[in-house]
Amino acid sequence: MDPMNIAGIGVLCSHGRGVARFEQALNESRVPSTAPASCHRIPSEVLEDREVLWDIRRADRFSKIAVLGAYDAMRDGDSRDGSVGIIVCTGLGPHATTFRFLDDILDYGDASVSPTIFSHSIHNAAASYIAKILKCTGPTLTVTQFHFSFQQALLLAGAWMSEGRCEHVLVGCVEECGSVMESIYGYKLKVGTNSGMHLSACGNKSSTGLGEGSVFFLVTSDPARRKYGVFSDVSLDGEPCVEERPDLCIIENDDATVDPGIPIVEFSPIFGHMMTGSGFQCAAAALMLRNQVAYACPSSDVSDGPNVIVETKPMAIREILCIKYDCKRLRSCVKLNK
Amino acid sequence: MEVGITGLGVLSAAGSNMHKTLETFRQGKRNAGPVTLFFTSLSYPVFEAKSFQPVKDQNQMRSLGLCLRAVEEALRSAGFWDGLATRRVGVCLGTTVASQLNDIEFYKTYRDSGKVLTEPVDRYLHGNLAGAVASVLKTQGPSLTVVNACTSGADAIGVALSWLRAGLCDVAIAGGADELNRVPLCGFGSLGILSDSLCAPFDKNRNGLNLGEGAGILVLETEKSSQARKKKVSLWLRGYGAANDAYHLTAPAPEGTGLEKSIRLALSEAGIGAQDVSFVNAHGTATQDNDRVEGAVLSRVFGKKVPFYSTKGFTGHTLGAAGGLEAAFSAAALYEGWIPQCAGFQTLDDGIAIAPTRKKTTVTGHYAVSTSLGFGGNNVALVIECVKFDGAAPWTQ
C-alpha cells in the first residue's frame, strides 16, 4: 500500500466536537461516569451547528454526526477539493432511524409511513449529505463490515489513490447509540458469548458501554500536506505489520498478545465500544505521533500486564500499530508512522 | 492490470440462472405478480424469484440465500469446481436489506415487552452479506459489504476492480443481492414511486417502478491468475466510473451531471470513446425523474445511434442486486450478440427524445456500458469488453 498522509482529522464523540476536545479527553484519560452497558452519548448541543447543518436540518441524528465529523476533517486539512472521494464505514448504520420507521409501520400501517424517515433509514443517507454539504462529486461509498470496516475502508482508500481514481480521500466511520442496540448490547454483555459484537477491550470491559460518534481522516498522497503522520500499512492477516517492532501498540482486545517489551494502550473507555471504534483508536494514534506523547490507558487494570501505559508522558514515537482481532481470531493491523 | 470476467451468476424473477434468464428475455416474459412472501396491505405488483427455495438454515436470510445461489453459478462457470481455498479471493457485495436489522417481529416484541429475541439479532450479526459469503467459501482476502442503495451492486464490482489492480487479491466475487422485503416496499410506497401496474421504463406513460429481488454475481480475475490456470477469457471489465450529484437525498440532479461524469470516467478508464460502445444497459427504473435524467444523459453522451434498454421490466428493481444483475446481463448480451427488448416500453416520451429497444436486437462490436443510479446521488457506469473466441459461453448451460 502506498503511504496515505493524514492531512486532516474531524472527530465527534461524547466529549464533544473537534480534535482539541478529543485530545483533551485523551490527555486527561477522562472516562465519563456512565453506568455499565450504557451509552457514551454525544450531548445534543454538540450537534447544533446552524451554519453547517442548516441545509440538512431535517436530517436524522446519524447523518448529522457523520456530516460534522467529515466537515471538520476537510476544514482541518484546509481542503475544498470537490473531487475528493468519500468512504463512510459503519457497523450498525442508522439503526435508530430504521426502528423509527418500523414504529411507523406498526403504528400506522404499510400505507401510511413517513417517506422522510424511510429515506434517512437507508445506510448511505449520511454519505449523501456529506457529499452535498462539502460539494464533493467524487466517488461516494458507504460500506459495512462488523469487525474490520475501518481497516477495509483504509485499504480501499489506498487502492483508489494508487490507481489515480482520487488524489484525496475522506475516509471515516460513524456509529449512533439507540435504545434497542443498548438493550442488545446489555444482553450480549451479560451472556458474554462469541456474539459477533466486540465487547472486550484492554482494561475494564464491564465498565465500558456503547459509544457513538464519528471520526474522519482526510488522506492524501501528497506528503507536503501531512499534518498527523501517515497510514503506512494495513493488513488483515497480521503478516506485514508484525515484522517490525513498533514503539507502541494500541490493542483493541483483552486477550491479544504482543511482545512484553512494547508499551500497549487502548482508549475505548473514553469514547465507548463501537464496531468501527478502530477509527477512533487510529485518531488517538495520529495525535500521539503528532504530539510525541503517550497517553495513558484509561481505566487500565495493572493486572493487564506491566507494559500497559498507566501515565501520560512525553515519548519519542516513530511508529504505532493498531491491532484488532475479530471473534474468529483473525487479526487486523494498521500501521501509522510519524 | 487487465481484469477478466471469468464467471457469471444470476437469479431473479426472470430466471434461476443465466441460461433461463436469457430464454425469458428472448420470449419477452414478465413474471410479476402480487406479494406472496410476506403480509402487506399494499397491492403493488412485484417480481419475486419464485424459482428460489431457500435451504432450511437460510430461511430467514433470504438475501444471503439468493446471493449464495448466484455465487455458486458464477464459481461453477468460472471453473472453480474445487473451491477457492488456496487462492487470494476478495468478496465485495452490495445490498440494502441485508444490512439492516429490520425484523418487524423482533422489533414488535422488543417494543411491547422490552425482551430481546436473540435469534434475529444473531442472524443479523452473522449475516453481513460479504462476511457471510466469505465465511461459507472460506476465502482469504478482503471482504466488504457495500451499502450504497441502488448502485450498491455496481459499486461493489468497482471496489473489487480496485482491489485486483492494487494486488489485494487475485480473484474477486463481486455483485449484489437483495430480497423482496416489506420494509422497503412500504418505504418506496411512501415515496410515491411504485407503479400499480407493470413498469414501463422510458415510456411516456411510465408511472413508477416495481420492486423485485435477486442476485447478480461476477467472478473477476487478474489476467495472471486466469493464465496460470489456463482459463480462456472472453469478457473483460475495462472501466468503472463513479460520481456523486452532491444535490439531493432522493432525487437525481436535473441535468444528470453526476451520471454523465461517471460514464465519461468509465469510458476514459477503458480507453474508448462513446462511438465504440455497442449498447447501454440503462438503469431505467420507470420513475419519472430517473428516466428523464438518464435518457437525457444517454442522448447527450451517445447520441441516437447507440441502442439502450432497461431490464427492470423483466426483473423489477432489485435495489442492491440491480448493478450486479445488469452487469452480468450486459456481459452475456455482448457475448451473445443480441440485446432484449425494453420490456414495458411502448410510447416515445418527447421529454426524453430517444427510444429504447422495442424488440430483441442484434448488436455488433466489443463494448457495453451498464449504468446505475441510486438514492443519495450516486451514479455508476461500468464498461465491459467482449473478445469472443470459439468455445463454451462463460456461464453454465
Show me where the domains of chain B are located: 3-386
Considering CB atoms only, which of A122, A143, A165 is closest to B146? A143
CB contacts under 8 A, A 161-190 vs B, are 162-163, 165, 180, 183-184, 187
- pLDDT at position A32 over 90: no
- Identify the CA nearest to B33 among candidates B54, B50, B53: B50
Cα distance between residue B284 and residue B290, in whole Å: 7
Tell me, yes or no, if A97 comes closer than 8 A to chain B by beta carbon.
Answer: no
The stretch A100-123 carries a mean pLDDT of 97
Tell me, yes or no, if A156 comes closer than 8 A to chain B by beta carbon.
Answer: yes
Partners of B111 on chain A (C-beta within 8 Å) are: 103, 106
- Between A and B, how many CB-CB pairs are < 8 A? 201
Tell me, yes or no, if B261 comes closer than 8 A to chain A by beta carbon.
Answer: yes
pLDDT-derived band at A194 (thresholds 50, 70, 90) equals very low
Considering CB atoms only, which of A93, A101, A114 is closest to B147? A93
Considering CB atoms only, which of B42, B131, B143 is closest to A110? B42
Task: Specify the pLDDT at position B85.
Answer: 66
Considering CB atoms only, which of B121, B130, B258 is closest to A145? B130
**pLDDT tens figures, A242-293:** 556 899 999 887 666 677 789 999 998 899 889 999 999 999 999 999 999 9
Cell of B71: 455465487
Cα distance between residue A121 and residue B59, in whole Å: 24
Helix (H) / strand (E) element for A159: namely helix A149-162
Mean pLDDT, chain A, whole residue set: 88
Cα distance between residue B5 and residue A174, in whole Å: 34
Tell me, yes or no, if B116 comes closer than 8 A to chain A by beta carbon.
Answer: yes
- Nearest CA distance, A72 vs chain B (angstrom): 18
Considering CB atoms only, which of A113, A132, A156 is closest to B159? A156
Q: Is B77 helix (H, G, I), strand (E, B) or coil?
A: helix
Tell me, yes or no, if A221 comes closer than 8 A to chain B by beta carbon.
Answer: no
- Nearest CA distance, B173 vs chain A (angstrom): 16
Contact check, Cβ <8 Å, B378/A124 = yes
**Mutate which of A84, A114, A134, A145 to disrupt the B interface (most B C-beta within 10 Å)?**
A145
Contact check, Cβ <8 Å, A118/B185 = no
The stretch A307-323 carries a mean pLDDT of 93
Cell of B142: 478482503
Q: Whose grid coordinates read 403480509? A: B39
Cα distance between residue B29 and residue B6, in whole Å: 28
CB contacts under 8 A, B 74-113 vs A, are 96, 99-102, 104, 107-108, 110-111
DSSP string, B315-371: H-B-GGGHHHHHHHHHHHHHHHTEE---TT--SB-TTT-----SS-EE--SSEEEEE
Is the C-alpha dihedral spanning A289, A295, A300, A301 positive or negative? positive
Task: Please name the residue of chain B whose CA is at the shortest distance from the CA of residue A123.
Answer: B147
Contact check, Cβ <8 Å, B258/A137 = yes
Whole-angstrom CA distances from A268 to A51, A117, A141, A253 are 31, 31, 26, 10
CA B389-B393-B394 angle, to 5 degrees, is 100
Cβ count near B46 (within 10 Å): 22
Cα distance between residue A154 and residue A158, in whole Å: 6
- pLDDT at position A37 over 80: no
Contact check, Cβ <8 Å, B99/A144 = yes
Tell me, yes or no, if B245 comes closer than 8 A to chain A by beta carbon.
Answer: yes
Cα distance between residue B148 and residue B176, in whole Å: 11
Partners of A123 on chain B (C-beta within 8 Å) are: 96, 99-100, 147-149
Partners of A122 on chain B (C-beta within 8 Å) are: 96, 149, 375-376
Task: Please name the residue of chain A whose CA is at the shortest distance from the CA of residue B266.
Answer: A165
Cell of B378: 450516486
Homologous superfamily of A4-337: Thiolase/Chalcone synthase (3.40.47.10)
The answer to whether B150 and B317 have CB atoms below 8 angstroms apart is yes
Q: Whose grid coordinates read 437525498? A: B249
- Identify the CA nearest to B355 among candidates B308, B302, B297, B290: B308
Partners of B247 on chain A (C-beta within 8 Å) are: 132
Q: Is B184 helix (H, G, I), strand (E, B) or coil?
A: helix
Contact check, Cβ <8 Å, A118/B190 = yes
Query: Which range (A90-99, A300-309, B338-347) has the least confidence?
Result: A300-309
Tell me, yes or no, if A100 comes closer than 8 A to chain B by beta carbon.
Answer: no
Cα distance between residue A203 and residue A317, in whole Å: 22
DSSP string, B241-300: EEEE--S-SSS--TT-HHHHHHHHHHHHHHT--GGGEEEEEE-----HHHHHHHHHHHHH
Q: Is residue A261 exposed (0-12), middle (13-18) or buried (19+ Cβ within 10 Å)?
A: exposed
Whole-angstrom CA distances from A147 to A327, B52, B123, B377 are 8, 30, 16, 28
Tell me, yes or no, if A131 comes closer than 8 A to chain B by beta carbon.
Answer: yes
Contact check, Cβ <8 Å, A183/B375 = no
CA A213-A288-A49 angle, to 5 degrees, is 30
**Mutate which of B89, B113, B121 to disrupt the A interface (most A C-beta within 10 Å)?**
B121
Contact check, Cβ <8 Å, A106/B159 = no
Helix (H) / strand (E) element for A204: namely none
Q: Where are the domains of chain A?
A: 4-337
* Residues lower than pLDDT 50 in chain B: none
- Identify the CA nearest to B104 among candidates A115, A109, A102: A102
Cell of A268: 475505548
Contact check, Cβ <8 Å, B376/A127 = yes
Contact check, Cβ <8 Å, A183/B186 = no
- Nearest CA distance, B39 vs chain A (angstrom): 10
Whole-angstrom CA distances from B147 to A38, B96, B378 are 28, 6, 11
B9, β-bridge pairs: B217
**pLDDT tens figures, B264-319:** 999 999 999 999 999 999 999 999 999 999 999 999 999 999 999 999 999 999 99
Considering CB atoms only, which of A121, A140, A236 is closest to B244? A140
- Identify the CA nearest to B386 among candidates B360, B364, B367: B367
- Nearest CA distance, B188 vs chain A (angstrom): 8
* CATH architecture under which domain B3-386 falls: 3-Layer(aba) Sandwich (3.40)
Tell me, yes or no, if A122 comes closer than 8 A to chain B by beta carbon.
Answer: yes
Task: Specify the pLDDT at position B102.
Answer: 87
Long-range contacts of the stretch B21-26 (C-beta < 8 A, 24+): B21/B314, B21/B329, B22/B332, B22/B336, B24/B314, B25/B311, B25/B314, B25/B340, B25/B360, B26/B340, B26/B360
- Identify the CA nearest to A272 among candidates A172, A198, A187: A198
Q: Is A5 helix (H, G, I), strand (E, B) or coil?
A: strand
For B182, phi and psi rounded to 5 degrees? -60, -35
Considering CB atoms only, which of A110, A145, A162 is closest to B41? A110
**Distance linking the first and last C-alpha atoms of chain A:** 17
Whole-angstrom CA distances from A289 to A223, A250, A283, A321 are 15, 13, 10, 11
**Mutate which of B2, B89, B99 to disrupt the A interface (most A C-beta within 10 Å)?**
B99
Residue-level length of chain B: 397
**Mutate which of A81, A100, A122, A198 to disrupt the B interface (most B C-beta within 10 Å)?**
A122
Partners of B166 on chain A (C-beta within 8 Å) are: 1, 155, 158-159, 162-163
What percent of chain A is predicted at pLDDT more than 90? Answer: 68
